[in-house]
Structure 1
């Protein structure tokens, strides 16, 4: 009943709107967007409501923080012991490490690459080895354990109306909220329209082909063979091998960002493939790390719009010259 008494701010479907400002909320769905919903959405998709007190979460975060400190102290002590055994100071030991890397014909940069692409250690030093750290963790843990929810007074960063709007939007299953491709706008679409927008790309037989089965297992074997050769040729280490070959890769997910700057009646979508936790996520980082310096030195490299304008300002266009731009699709 409350929804009916308030003024709707819904944009009629298929209605073309002009003079949109940056960071606007564009409602292309059949959902009635009320002032409280707009107030909430204007905070942006990265906004985080004030979290509720979670005793387990606080203690977990405390121990993760303490672990980072313990690892740092552990490595410092390890270097001090190695420096003492070699009869050099801690400062000189750092330079000695670089010299040893050069003697192994492994420049420091390459050594950093090798250290970067390896799995994070699961080792946790005992806090009892560092008395101050152990006392700190025990005291803070005791304070957290003594906190009672009724003693806490939290100041929410949402008004009551915005909290109601958040609950309502969470319950709506037939809409999709996405950032627009350009302009920083927030776009609300009916789920069926959003799916149709995505299927425009997937139904393009020139750009996509439907597979009969999931090729992840086959590609995993190919990657495993390639990485094994890399280890045998001393191009990568065993640690690199473990990092670059994920144990449980997931299938990348495709989603689209609506191009509302081209059309509001039926906006086309920009397809984006999220490769998080995919088979090629880490190997892509590895390849990019080596290729990036080479790409920066290519004559055709363009960083951004300002770089384009700088390049154009250095070019003298003669009468009769033709400037050409092109775009890549699928």
Structure 2
């Protein structure tokens, strides 16, 4: 395994030739937004849906001559590919292409610090499977189609809590499989840290560190439950500030620290291993339902648009997903 921190690559992106089709698509989208603003800009939206599928509606021209002329001008303006000087040398370009085309290595960003990690593909696969084969937190699922049917049935059972647009958003899409990958936790590997100290260079190399762990990432923007999870997040996030231990960012944390503490005070921190996978689904649901009941007055007084949707939270019970 190789651990690389190449400063120039980190701070300087290679120049890319203009993408003419993408630029034209951006111009068309901009023109569409102008027409939508013209037609709906001053109208009040009475729709209370929290989520909805993206509309493809484009208003017809003819309402404003100035706007029509402007849109016609920018859409017909000639777009040409510009020739610009490359900001990487030929050797640097060849090196990047060689790394990109090499199937025997895989390149990942470090979990912390922004370092570039180059690993043997076989070693990376071993580390991924080592994590996925942990039956305490992961199990192989082969019935995704059944889960899709179950999800749609559950949403239908709760249709009185949802608007038509919300139901369409949650059900009317083609789910895709999620991608699992891992970011190397180089800052927690004693072998890598010792190598960094010994070699003291921007580029260090070590052989298959046995203590290296990966931070699991599941990328699933169109996975089976992504939209449902997003919808539930919109509902319950309004209650998060009501939790006594809720900290929004580092500055708020600093504001919670006492200005003066006894001299013998120790500042300590704790790291929970596999935090989210260690939270039982039933316990998580119980905590959410408890908070809802405790803050019912807040929901009734200031959160009317989402009050009728609280029942949807029960869709993701642990015995269903």
Q: Partner of 1:226: helix, strand, or coil?
A: helix
Aligned counterpart, 1:8: none
8 A contact 1:180–1:257 mirrored in 2: yes
Query: Who is 2:133 aligned against?
Result: 203
* Match of residue 40 from structure 2: 75
Aligned pair 1:229/2:163, yes or no?
Answer: no
1:253 counterpart residue number:
179
* 2-structure distance, mates of 1:56, 1:181: 35
CA separation in 2, counterparts of 1:320 and 1:53?
58
Whole-angstrom CA distance in 2 between matches of 1:255 and 1:163: 27
In structure 2, runs of 5+ residues without a counterpart are 193-208, 278-321
Shift of 1:280: 1.4
Q: Contact 2:110/2:116 (CA < 8 Å) preserved in 1?
A: yes
Pairs aligned (count)? 256
Between the aligned partners of 1:225 and 1:243, the Cα distance in structure 2 is 14
Q: Name the CA distance, whole Å, in 2 between partners of 1:249 and 1:322.
A: 46
The structure whose Rg is larger is 1
Equivalent residue number for residue 299 of structure 2: none
> SS of 2:136's equivalent?
coil
Q: TM-score, normalised by structure 2?
A: 0.68
| Alpha-carbon distance in structure 2 between the residues aligned to 1:188 and 1:210 | 29
- CA apart distance, 1:59: 2.5
- Deviation of 1:210 after TM superposition, in Å, equals 2.2
Shift of the alpha carbon at 1:140?
3.2
TM-score, normalising length: structure 1 = 0.67
Distance 1:324 1:270, change over 3 A: closer
Are 1:39 and 1:162, in contact at CA under 8 Å, matched by a contact in 2? no
Select the residue among 193, 216, 221 that pairs with 1:276. 221
Number of the residue aligned with 1:41:
9
Question: 1:143 aligned to 2:77?
Answer: yes
Matched residues in 1 for 2:238 and 2:251: separation?
20
Q: Secondary structure at the match of 1:251?
A: coil
SS of 1:161's partner is helix
What residue is the counterpart of 2:91 in the other structure? Answer: 161
- Whether 2:214 is the aligned partner of 1:290: answer no
